[in-house]
Amino acid sequence: MLPTRGYATKGPTERLAPFTFERRDPGPRDVLIEILYCGICHSDIHQARDEWGGALFPMVPGHEIVGRVTRVGPRATRFKIGDPAGVGCFVDSCRVCESCKAGLEQYCERHIVFTYNGTEHDLKTPTYGGYSSQIVVDEQYVFKIPPKLPAANVAPLLCAGITTYSPLRQFNVGPGQRVGVVGLGGLGHMGVKLAAAMGAEVTVFSTSSSKEQDARRLGAHDFVATKDPKNLEALANRFHCILDTVAADHDLNLYLNLLRRGGALALVGAPPKPMAVNAFSLIMKGRTLSGSLIGGMRETQEMLDYCAARNITSDVEVIPIQQVETAYERTIKGDVRYRFVIDMKTL
């Protein structure tokens, strides 16, 4: 077993604090990764505070992991010592269900092994995430990190990047299309960058008028302040696709009515309560309301390579691990442009 340092919370009202635990020794196809950076996802906060229910404590959060390979199992062939490597939201899956065979491991129908707040295949051994010094993962569930990109800025791509890339690809976003992005936060800013890179005309919808300059800097062609619903009236039937990244209660029908015939509203934010949908918002124009969960291994690697080719990364604020609680509170307030990343060398 490998003694490992990390930061954990022991309960939903407890602060994150130093925590020592053991990782398994690398198996034949495993790689051992020294963690250099780990992004802070809003879902870390939800789970650390048991806001979604079913949390397992003690919990070491973190699923936006970038590091360096320090040991390779004897049958592992994809990595060598010293290679940059990444780990996303899951570290294993059943491998045999229809979804896994289709390269959609995130929808595993038997048991997906989440990077943290989950269990291994024995359904007993807890998983601990990236707020730690090292991690052991089967090489099949490890990503090749493009060395040309700054590691700290790459870390959020492993959640925020793929979460927005996947639905944009699903709905074939490209030149000549009008795409809306609802919310300009950790997810939204990546949605803007990626949709713009794909050649779409991008409009940002935000309750914060102060974000207009940033939206345009990130690649948006237009900006709509949504506190006044009248600002949306002239945009009815305009958009091919709208990416909704908001995790708070809001009116979906406002955005459904902005879609042209056959358009799609893709939900990637997770509001805490069910939201009402007017059936006629969908029926009368043949519109689609869909959801999307991160991406599979193949698509996530595709996203990383796509970003490397176009020099796309996340806008980040790098912090020492000792400031993680402050970062949580600032994330809740939307006081970050646009993703916190922990420098794990400060552990």
Question: What is the distance between the alpha carbons of residues 248 and 230, in angstroms, rounded to a whole number?
Answer: 21
- pLDDT reported for residue 229: 85
The pLDDT, as a whole number, for residue 119 is: 98
Domains of the chain: 2-158+314-346 (3.90.180.10), 161-291 (3.40.50.720)
Residues near 215 by beta carbon (within 8 Å), at least 6 away in sequence = 184, 192, 204, 206, 223
Number of Cβ atoms within 10 Å of the Cβ of 99: 17
Instruction: From 173, 160, 165, select the one nearest 241 (Cα to Cα).
Output: 173
Cβ(32)–Cβ(71) below 8 Å: yes
pLDDT, averaged across the chain: 97
**Token pair for residue 116?**
């943290």
Backbone angles phi, psi at 260, to 5 degrees: -75, 175
**Model pLDDT, residue 196:** 98
AA identity, residue 188: G
Preceding peptide of 58 cis, ω within 30°: yes
The pTM assigned to this predicted structure is: 0.96
Task: State residue 115's pLDDT score.
Answer: 98
Are β-strands 316-320 and 339-343 bridged in parallel, bridged antiparallel, or unpaired? parallel
Average pLDDT of each block of 10 consecutive residues along the chain (347 residues)? 98 98 97 98 96 96 98 97 98 98 98 98 97 98 96 98 98 97 97 98 95 97 93 94 94 96 96 91 97 98 98 98 98 94 98
Q: Give yes or no for a contact between 275 and 249, defined as CB atoms under 8 angstroms apart.
A: yes
- Output the pLDDT for position 265: 98
Q: What is the pLDDT of residue 272?
A: 81
The reported pLDDT for the residue numbered 270 is: 87
Structure tokens at 299: 């698509």
- Nearest C-alpha neighbor of 188 from the set 130, 107, 242, 262: 242
Question: Residue 121: its pLDDT value, please?
Answer: 96
Report the interhelical angle of 186-197 vs 160-170 (nearest 10°): 40
- Rounded CA separation 105/183 (Å): 27
Q: 262: part of which helix (H) or strand (E)?
A: strand 259-267
Q: Which two tokens stand for residue 271?
A: 């509001």
